[in-house]
Structure 1
């Protein structure tokens, strides 16, 4: 049976039950080597566009203060906004292009995109099914 415990801060109500697992059995949804690979990809696919977004502000300031050209503030805003949005897209791309094999895969990893989207959909379906079964 499940044992009762006090809920953690910000934990949804009714989730204070803890299922006992056999000693030594540790279940991971995402293997550690895949999670590390995802983190590296997210850092690159999000970090580079974010740096570019900040670089737009610096370059714009430099160009305007040196009287090299007149740059409208709206152009600076749109340019930096583009790179920040690209960084947000990079979060998803970084996660969804990571290889789940022991070998790291290719540099960009776009061949892993379709299988990873399928895994995500199956996981969402399984969670909905589990939630529906627990309500019965």
Structure 2
């Protein structure tokens, strides 16, 4: 055996990889994948008809743009406010400690900021569920009525999916 091939075997590299200057990653397959054969015209026609069916099904399940914008605004509001409070907790506690206004335990800062960031995560979910899913009806300011309606729809869908499985 030559010295180069022996060193390649020891390092786990393929000799072809060494000559090209490219090292094979540990999770990279040793051989290239087989190329898929080209489709015959009959299969292409079937694929196009299936693609048309998929797009029509996608259009039926797609969230309307008005509703998705409403969800994004509500998610930004109900998640953004607690996030700002969570970040400001660190800033305010910094000034309290620097100016020595009173002794502030570190755990208090951590727990308060974690509480605000937890509310922010809940705000994301509440913002999406509390938005009116009807295109024509904007819904109320806090969205509690829409939340109860939409949460009922979600739980009903989960139960029916669980029964199917």
* Fold similarity call, TM over 0.5: yes
TM-score by length of 1: 0.73
Deviations 1:25-82 (A, max 9, x none): 4323422211111111111111110110010000000111011111110110111011
Write the distance in 2 (CA, Å) between the matches of 1:95 and 1:104: 13
Quote the RMSD (CA, aligned, Å): 2.6
Counterpart residue number, 1:90? 123
Write the distance in 2 (CA, Å) between the matches of 1:22 and 1:88: 37
Q: How many residues align?
A: 116
Counterpart residue number, 2:65? 32
Change (3 A) 1:23 1:51: closer
Structure 2: gaps (5+ residues): 1-35, 37-46
Determine which of 141, 157, 162 is the counterpart of 1:107. 141
Match of 1:70, SS state, is coil
Deviations 1:81-116 (A, max 9, x none): 110111111111111110122121111110111110
Is 1:20 the counterpart of 2:51? The answer is yes
Give the number of the structure with larger relative contact order, counting CA–CA contacts within 8 Å between residues 6 or more apart. Answer: 1
Deviations 1:4-39 (A, max 9, x none): xx9xxxxxxxxxx99433598432342221111111
Q: Which runs of 4+ in 1 moved over 6 A?
A: none
Structure 1: gaps (5+ residues): 1-5, 7-16
Match of 1:21, SS state, is helix
TM-score by length of 2: 0.61
Counterpart residue number, 1:50? 83
Q: Which has the higher helix share?
A: 2
Counterpart residue number, 2:112? 79
